[in-house]
Chain A
Amino acid sequence: MTTRIDARFAELKKQGRSAFITFLMAGDPDPATSLEIIKALPKAGADIIEIGMPFTDPMADGPAIQAAGLRALKAGMTLKKTLAMVRGFRKGDDATPLVLMGYYNPIYIYGVDKFLVDAKSAGVDGLIIVDLPPEEDTELCLPALQAGLNFIRLATPTTDDKRLPAVLANTSGFVYYVSITGITGSASADSGAVGEAVARIKRHTKLPVCVGFGIRTPDAARAIAENADGAVVGTALVDALRASLDAENRATAKTVDAVADLVSSLAQGVRGAKQAAE
Chain B
Amino acid sequence: MSLAKPNSFRSGPDERGHFGIFGGRFVAETLMPLILDLEQAYADAKADPAFQAEMNGYLKHYVGRPSPLYFAERLTEHLGGAKIYFKREELNHTGSHKVNNVLGQIMVARRMGKKRIIAETGAGQHGVATATLCARFGLECFVYMGAVDVERQQANVIRMEMLGAKVIPVQSGSRTLKDAMNDALRDWVTNVHNTFYCIGTVAGPHPYPMMVRDFQSVIGIETRAQMQEAEGRLPDSLVACIGGGSNAMGLFHPFLDDPGIEIFGVEAAGHGLTQLHAASIAGGRPGVLHGNRTYLLMDDDGQIQDAHSISAGLDYPGIGPEHSWLHETGRVTYLSATDDEALAAFQLLSRLEGIIPALEPAHAIARVMDLAPKRPRDHLMVVNLSGRGDKDIPQVADILRVKKK
Closest A residue to B286 by beta carbon equals A108
- Nearest-neighbor residue (CB-CB) of A58 within chain B: B182
In the complex, the answer to whether B190 meets A133 with C-beta atoms within 8 Å is no
B301 and A109 contacting across the interface, CB-CB below 8 Å: yes
Q: Mark A85-106, 1 if CB is under 8 A from B, else 0.
A: 0000000000000000001111
Q: How far is the CA of A134 from the CA of B36 in the complex (A)?
A: 12
Q: Judging by beta carbons under 8 Å apart, are A57 and B26 in contact?
A: no
Say yes or no: A108 contacts B173, CB within 8 Å.
Answer: no
B6 at the interface (CB under 8 A from A): no
Which residue of B26, B29, B289, B302 contacts A178 across the interface (Cβ within 8 Å)? B29
Contact of A159 with B by CB under 8 A? yes
Q: Are the CB atoms of B288 and A160 closer together than 8 Å?
A: no
Is there a chain B Cβ closer than 8 Å to A122's Cβ? no
CB of B190 within 8 A of CB of A186, answer yes
CB <8 Å contact, A59 and B301: no
Contacts A181-B193, A182-B189 given; does A158 touch B33 at CB 8 Å: yes
Whether A220 is near chain B, meaning CB under 8 Å from some CB there, is no
Measured as residues with beta carbon below 8 angstroms from the partner, the interface class of chain A is: 35 or more
- Given the interface pairs A105-B288, A131-B28, A167-B29, the reply to whether A59 lies near B182 with Cβ below 8 Å is yes
What is the 8 Å Cβ interface bit string for chain A, positions 129-171, against chain B (1 contact, 0 not)? 0111111100000000000000001111111100100010000
Main secondary structure, interface of A, reads loop
Contact B290 A59 (CB under 8 A): yes
Q: Is the CB of B26 within 8 A of A78?
A: no
Given contacts A136-B24, A182-B189, A108 and B302 within 8 Å (CB-CB): yes
Contact among B30, B186, B287 with A105 in the assembled complex (CB-CB below 8 Å)? B287
Q: Which of B192, B291, B302 interacts with A107 by CB under 8 Å?
A: B302
Q: Assess the A156–B30 pair: CB atoms within 8 A.
A: yes
Specify which chain B residues have a CB less than 8 angstroms from the CB of A56 in the assembled complex: 173, 303-304
**Cα-based distance from A19 to B193 in the complex (angstroms):** 31
Bits for B180-201, please: 1 = Cβ < 8 Å to A, else 0.
0010011001111100000000
By the criterion CB–CB under 8 Å, are A105 and B33 in contact? no
Is residue B27 within 8 Å, beta carbon to beta carbon, of the partner chain?
A: yes
Partner of A131, one of B26, B172, B298: B26
Known: A79-B302, A158-B33. A135 touches B193 (CB 8 A): no
Q: Does B367 contact A (CB under 8 A)?
A: no
State the Cβ distance, A82 to closest chain B Cβ, in Å.
Answer: 10
- Collect the chain B residues with CB atoms within 8 Å of residue A186's CB: 190
Residues of B within 8 A of A107 (CB): 302
A116 lies within 8 A of chain B by Cβ: no
Instruction: Report the separation of the CA atoms of residues A160 and B32 in the bound assembly, to the nearest whole angstrom.
Output: 11
Main secondary structure of the interface of B (DSSP, over half): mixed
- A109, A135, A178: the one within 8 Å of B32 (CB): A135
In the complex, what residue of chain A is closest to B206 when comparing beta carbons? A135
**Once the chains bind, are A158 and B304 in contact (CB under 8 Å)?**
no
Contacts of B289 in A (CB 8 A): 57, 105
CA distance A60 to B296 in the complex (A): 20
- On whether the beta carbons of A60 and B33 are closer than 8 Å, the reply is no
Given A59-B185, A104-B288, A186-B190; A155-B29 close (CB under 8 Å): yes
Mark out the residues of chain A between 180 and 220 whose CB falls within 8 Å of any chain B CB in the assembled complex: 181-183, 186
> Bound complex: CA of A163 vs CA of B27, how far in Å?
15
Asked if B173 and A104 sit within 8 Å, CB to CB, the answer is no
A154 to B189, CA, bound (A): 13
Given contacts A73-B303, A109-B300, A136-B24, contact A181 B30 (CB under 8 A): yes
Asked if A66 CB lies within 8 Å of chain B CBs, one says yes
A131 to B26 alpha-carbon distance, docked (Å): 5
Q: Is the CB of B304 within 8 A of A133?
A: no
Counting CB contacts under 8 A, is A9 at the interface? no
Q: Is the CB of A105 within 8 A of B298?
A: yes
A55 within 8 A of B: yes
Count of A-B contacts judged by CB separation below 8 Å: 116
Tell me the smallest distance from the CB of A93 to a CB of chain B, in Å.
Answer: 26
Whether B298 contacts A156 by the Cβ 8 Å rule is no
B403 within 8 A of A: no
Whether B287 contacts A108 by the Cβ 8 Å rule is yes
Question: Of the candidates B172, B182, B287, which one forms a contact with A109 in the assembled complex, judged by CB atoms under 8 Å apart?
Answer: B287
- Report the separation of the CA atoms of residues A176 and B300 in the bound assembly, to the nearest whole angstrom: 30
Closest to B296 in A: A105
**Least Cβ–Cβ distance between A10 and chain B, in angstroms:** 27
Is the beta-carbon distance between B182 and A158 smaller than 8 angstroms? Answer: no
Contact of A79 among B186, B287, B301 (CB under 8 A): B301
Residues of A within 8 A of B190 (CB): 181-183, 186
Structural contact, A55 and B28, CB atoms closer than 8 A:
no
Which residues on the A side are within 8 Å of B391 (C-beta)? Answer: none
Task: Please give me the residue from chain B that is nearest to A163 by CB atom.
Answer: B33
Is B178 part of the contact surface with A, judged by Cβ < 8 Å? yes
Q: Are A60 and B301 in contact (CB under 8 A)?
A: no
What is the bound-complex CA distance between A9 and B29, given in angstroms? 24
Query: Are B301 and A131 in contact, CB atoms less than 8 angstroms apart?
Result: no
Q: Residue A78 contacts which of B28, B30, B301 (CB distance < 8 angstroms)?
A: B301
Interface centre among B182, B300, B303 (most CB of A within 10 A): B303
Return chain A residues, CB-CB under 8 Å to B288.
103-105, 108, 131
Using CB atoms, name the residue of chain B closest to A132.
B26
- Measured CB to CB, the closest approach of chain B to A81, in angstroms, equals 9
User: Least Cβ distance of A143 to chain B in Å?
Assistant: 15
Distance from B357 Cβ to chain A, minimum over Cβ atoms (Å) = 31
Chain B residues with CB below 8 A from A79, complex form? 301-302
Q: How far is the CA of A109 from the CA of B29 in the complex (A)?
A: 22
| Contacts A57-B182, A183-B190 given; does A104 touch B26 at CB 8 Å | yes
For residue B363, CB closer than 8 A to chain A, the reply is no
Chain A positions within 8 Å of B, measured between CB atoms, are 54-60, 62-63, 66, 73, 78-80, 103-110, 130-136, 153-160, 163, 167, 178, 181-183, 186
Closest 9 CB pairs of A and B: A109-B302, A106-B302, A182-B190, A156-B30, A78-B301, A59-B185, A105-B302, A131-B26, A56-B304
Please name 14 pairs of A and B residues whose Cβ atoms are closer than 8 Å in the assembled complex, sorted by A.
Answer: A59-B182, A59-B185, A59-B189, A59-B290, A60-B186, A79-B301, A79-B302, A131-B26, A131-B288, A133-B25, A133-B32, A154-B28, A158-B193, A159-B29
B residues sitting closer than 8 Å to A (CB atoms) are 16, 24-34, 172-173, 178-179, 182, 185-186, 189-193, 287-291, 293, 296, 298, 300-304
New A-B contacts (20) at CB < 8 Å, excluding given A131-B28, A135-B24: A55-B302, A56-B304, A57-B178, A59-B186, A79-B301, A105-B289, A105-B298, A105-B302, A106-B302, A108-B288, A108-B302, A131-B291, A133-B26, A135-B25, A155-B29, A156-B29, A158-B33, A181-B189, A181-B190, A181-B191
